[in-house]
Chain A
Amino acid sequence: MANKLISEIPLPKSIANVFSARNISTAKDALTLTEFELMELLDVGLTEVRSALSQISEIVAPPYQTALSLMEQRFQNEHLGGHFPTGLKGLDAALCGGIPFGVLTELVGPAGIGKTQFCLKLSLLASLPTNYGGLDGRVIYIDVESKFSSRRLLEIGLRSFPEIFQMKEMAQEMAGRILVLRPTSLAEFTQSLEQIKVSLLQKQVKMLVIDSMAALVSGEHEQGARRQQTLSWHISFIKSLAEFSRIPVVVTNQVRSRNHEDASRYSFQVQSRDGAIGTTMQYDSHLVAALGIQWAHAVTTRLVLEAKSGERFIKVAKSPISPPLAFPFHITSSGILLLSDDGKEVMGPEINAIHCQGHNEIINFGMEGLH
């Protein structure tokens, strides 16, 4: 809509001619200039500029919907009202059905905690027919770090849904629906994204997994502001892709150590002498999610996977619908399993903290059936 041509908008002929004479061809060009600038550029009066702008705006502005019709539409047209069940009962209940369609869901955690395992399980689930809780469609899996293991995928399938995967043709059909891409650079990734957007609907793609987003950028630039800028376009693009296709998009993120650039206070907090603020700093873990605060704003749901006191937890750190809950989990041959469906409520900013304690033992525990 932003790139709508002025020539296609029904404006009075005189002003339309002036627009094209001054090389203002799209609505975007016209709307980014202020009224005064347009007056100067086009050499017309304020009333004409205003009426032209209001006509252009009316055409470019998106239509409205009442929240009620939005809800009815979602429940009628989409699987479970726009949610993709993960198979983890407690998590699905907290997220009001599962991973939401049309927005970004992020999995963040230290290395080896189980993010890729979760992604594999989700890809498998999405490829299954709807009577098994799946989306009955293709999955695009963008595997940046070459962690995708089809052998592991089939093992998960065999253990979780033996009735389907024991038959070789069915296994082939399901596995055939998962398309793996392995971009070796950010530029290649960008290209793949653009291609995906074009063919998304025709190819019946029902889910997009990017594992991992952080790995794409870490090789390219120095950290901080430069990296944020690199990713802005991608963040915007992936979000719009998710939005218009109404599919769930799962992205994994890495962790890094906290450095001096990470701020956690506002200017008015620093001046305050309140003791409560000091204590927050003490309990902060030394790990933070990579990709920065702009990315943290862009994702709609953030699931933190962490290891604490010898146990692994999956925490709902950011969600429009779920309270801050932590579920203990472990990894078995059939993927991720919750040890309890009743999440423990976590108070305060602790829900965002990422712990990595007692990690080495955990990597070996529970992975016996793997190779």
Chain B
Amino acid sequence: MEIWRLPISASQRGKLISAGYTSLSSLSSISSSDLARELKVSESEAMNILKVASHSRGSETSNASCSIVEGAQSAWDMLHDEESLMHITTSSADLDNILGGGIHCKEVTEIGGVPGIGKTQLGIQVAVNVQIPNDFGGLGGKAIYIDTEGSFMVERAFQIAEACIEDMSEYNRFLRKDFQECKIKMLPQDILENIFYFRICSYTEQIALINYLDKFLSEHKDVKVIVVDSVTFHFRQDFDDMALRTRVLSGMALKLMNLAKRFSLAVVLLNQVTTKHTEASFQLALALGDSWSHTCTNRIVLYWNGNERYAYIDKSPSLRSASAAYSVTARGIRNSSSSCKRIKMM
């Protein structure tokens, strides 16, 4: 359905087309304030345009013959969606760089590594960083932390939250050169209040919770990240029937992907490591098997390289394989302190 069919004034139509909005679906995911800014019109005008657009779209879906396949979206329209993709920063600029801005929303990202490399630390950091307000470039959303192993430590989350707020105040002071002590009104307790913590004790509870999240997320629409720490634990212990395990895991992954897309949130799955016998030697590999390795959209491996912690993009549809160093400090995940920071492209 084209823009020129909309009952809006010619000047508005012209502005829309020159700004790049040539179809109705491209208007579906934009807010009125963003549209007002792009078209350089008042916000009430932008709201009107959007209302008219959604009206027409509503009547359009009743004539199913307009689109070739129901529910399909053209790649051009998806490009707009992809470009306006939100990211969650990891607080390490190098890591954010290789991730293309941060952890992507609407996608499932799997992060795995040996014990002690910092998976839970990264999980907590992401659960805190998703709450960074819009003014500071964050999503201002809430977090769901699903803990299957009991590794979530509230004191650590408090520490990381405190450091995050301090960094924001620092940034604020740096930006506003009028030396006014623009104190951030957030407290670490507020950040902790926005993390919904679930403790899972068996794989049945894990499956049940992921089914239930559908309802939970409809009631809590401001959740923007789901962290599962770790997705592996309960699936390594009780299963004798490996085929069943594969089926259950892929069902779970599909549901999570569905949730990510529908509610526009990021899903971060933390995975453990196992040894694999390949080519006459034993190597480390992420757990849960080969079939699982296909299910996640993005895959990041955290590993030791010399004395540094590195993250490697093992699999991603849009990012190239690269690795970057990061460190775990008392304030959370930060850039590695080595002066010659190299981002290795593979």
**Which residue from B197, B230, B247, B308 sits with its C-beta under 8 Å from A70?**
B197
Q: Per-residue CB proximity of A48-72 to B under 8 Å, as 1/0? A: 0000011011111111111111110
B320 in the interface (beta carbon within 8 A)? no
Give the shortest distance, in Å, between B38 (CB) and chain A (any CB). 37
Cβ contact within 8 Å between B274 and A293: yes
Cβ contact within 8 Å between B248 and A32: yes
Residue of B nearest to A275 (CB): B306
Cβ contact within 8 Å between B155 and A81: yes
Residues of A within 8 A of B202 (CB): 1-2, 28
A233 in the interface (beta carbon within 8 A)? yes
**Which residue from A1, A58, A274, A300 sits with its C-beta under 8 Å from B201?**
A1
A349 CA to B209 CA, complexed, in Å: 36
A270 CA to B280 CA, complexed, in Å: 13
Residues of B within 8 A of A54 (CB): 211-212, 214-215
Which residues 190-207 in A have Cβ within 8 Å of B in the complex? none
Give the shortest distance, in Å, between B211 (CB) and chain A (any CB). 3
With A32-B248, A243-B150 in contact, do A71 and B158 touch (Cβ < 8 Å)? yes
Cβ contact within 8 Å between A64 and B307: no
Give the shortest distance, in Å, between A90 (CB) and chain B (any CB). 16
Interface-facing stretch out of A134-142, A276-284, A327-335, A354-362? A276-284
Q: How many A-B residue pairs have CB under 8 A?
A: 210
Residue of B nearest to A350 (CB): B307
A240 CA to B205 CA, complexed, in Å: 13
Cβ contact within 8 Å between A57 and B275: no
B199 in the interface (beta carbon within 8 A)? yes
Which residues 259-281 in B have Cβ within 8 Å of A in the complex? 272-276, 278, 281
Residues of B within 8 A of A350 (CB): 307
Which residues 150-191 in B have Cβ within 8 Å of A in the complex? 150-159, 189
Give the shortest distance, in Å, between B271 (CB) and chain A (any CB). 10
Residue of A nearest to B314 (CB): A268
Cβ contact within 8 Å between A243 and B154: no
Residues of B within 8 A of A299 (CB): 115
Cβ contact within 8 Å between A323 and B330: yes
**Which residue from A60, A67, A347 sits with its C-beta under 8 Å from B192?**
A67
Which residues 293-317 in B have Cβ within 8 Å of A in the complex? 301, 303-308, 312, 314
A213 in the interface (beta carbon within 8 A)? no
A300 CA to B229 CA, complexed, in Å: 12
**Which residue from A35, A67, A348 sits with its C-beta under 8 Å from B304?**
A348
Cβ contact within 8 Å between B149 and A239: yes
Q: Per-residue CB proximity of A70-106 to B under 8 Å, as 1/0? A: 1100100000010000000000000010001011000
Cβ contact within 8 Å between A348 and B153: no
A276 CA to B205 CA, complexed, in Å: 43
**Which residue from A59, A243, A264, A348 sits with its C-beta under 8 Å from B307?**
A348
Residues of B within 8 A of A102 (CB): 150
A1 CA to B155 CA, complexed, in Å: 28
Which residues 293-310 in A have Cβ within 8 Å of B in the complex? 293-294, 296-300, 302
A312 in the interface (beta carbon within 8 A)? no
Main secondary structure of the interface of B (DSSP, over half): mixed
Cβ contact within 8 Å between B195 and A67: yes
A23 in the interface (beta carbon within 8 A)? no
Cβ contact within 8 Å between A263 and B150: no
Give the shortest distance, in Å, between A217 (CB) and chain B (any CB). 15
A267 in the interface (beta carbon within 8 A)? yes
Residues of A within 8 A of B247 (CB): 34
Residues of A within 8 A of B158 (CB): 71
Cβ contact within 8 Å between A57 and B211: yes
Give the shortest distance, in Å, between B161 (CB) and chain A (any CB). 9
A364 in the interface (beta carbon within 8 A)? no
Interface size class, chain B: 35 or more
Cβ contact within 8 Å between B278 and A64: no
B114 in the interface (beta carbon within 8 A)? yes
Q: Per-residue CB proximity of B203-229 to A under 8 Å, as 1/0? A: 111011101101110000000000000
B244 in the interface (beta carbon within 8 A)? yes
Cβ contact within 8 Å between A31 and B208: yes
A59 CA to B153 CA, complexed, in Å: 26
With A1-B205, A268-B346 in contact, do A300 and B151 touch (Cβ < 8 Å)? yes
Which residues 203-244 in A have Cβ within 8 Å of B in the complex? 232-233, 235-236, 239-240, 242-244
Residues of B within 8 A of A321 (CB): 153, 155-156, 159
Which residues 223-249 in B have Cβ within 8 Å of A in the complex? 230, 232-234, 236-238, 244, 247-248
With A66-B197, A300-B151, A323-B330 in contact, do A233 and B211 touch (Cβ < 8 Å)? no
Cβ contact within 8 Å between B273 and A71: no
Residues of B within 8 A of A66 (CB): 192-197
A262 in the interface (beta carbon within 8 A)? yes
Give the shortest distance, in Å, between A325 (CB) and chain B (any CB). 12
With A2-B205, A66-B194, A71-B158 in contact, do A267 and B278 touch (Cβ < 8 Å)? yes
A67 CA to B190 CA, complexed, in Å: 10
Cβ contact within 8 Å between A265 and B192: no
Residue of A nearest to B155 (CB): A96
B282 in the interface (beta carbon within 8 A)? yes
A27 CA to B203 CA, complexed, in Å: 11
A13 in the interface (beta carbon within 8 A)? no
Scoring A34, A61, A242, A348 by chain B CB atoms within 10 A of each residue's CB, the highest score goes to A61
Residues of B within 8 A of A264 (CB): 284
Cβ contact within 8 Å between A348 and B308: yes
A75 CA to B247 CA, complexed, in Å: 41
A317 in the interface (beta carbon within 8 A)? yes
Scoring A2, A300, A318 by chain B CB atoms within 10 A of each residue's CB, the highest score goes to A2
Residues of A within 8 A of B159 (CB): 321
With A260-B282, A267-B285 in contact, do A27 and B150 touch (Cβ < 8 Å)? no
A-B contact sample (11 more), CB < 8 A, given A71-B192, A261-B275, A348-B308: A57-B208, A58-B215, A64-B196, A74-B154, A268-B301, A293-B273, A297-B273, A298-B149, A298-B233, A300-B149, A300-B151
Interchain Cβ contacts under 8 Å between A and B, 6 examples: A53-B211, A57-B211, A71-B154, A267-B283, A300-B151, A348-B308
Chain B positions near chain A (C-beta within 8 angstroms): 114-116, 120-121, 144-145, 149-159, 189, 192-205, 207-209, 211-212, 214-216, 230, 232-234, 236-238, 244, 247-248, 251, 272-276, 278, 281-285, 301, 303-308, 312, 314, 321, 329-330, 344, 346
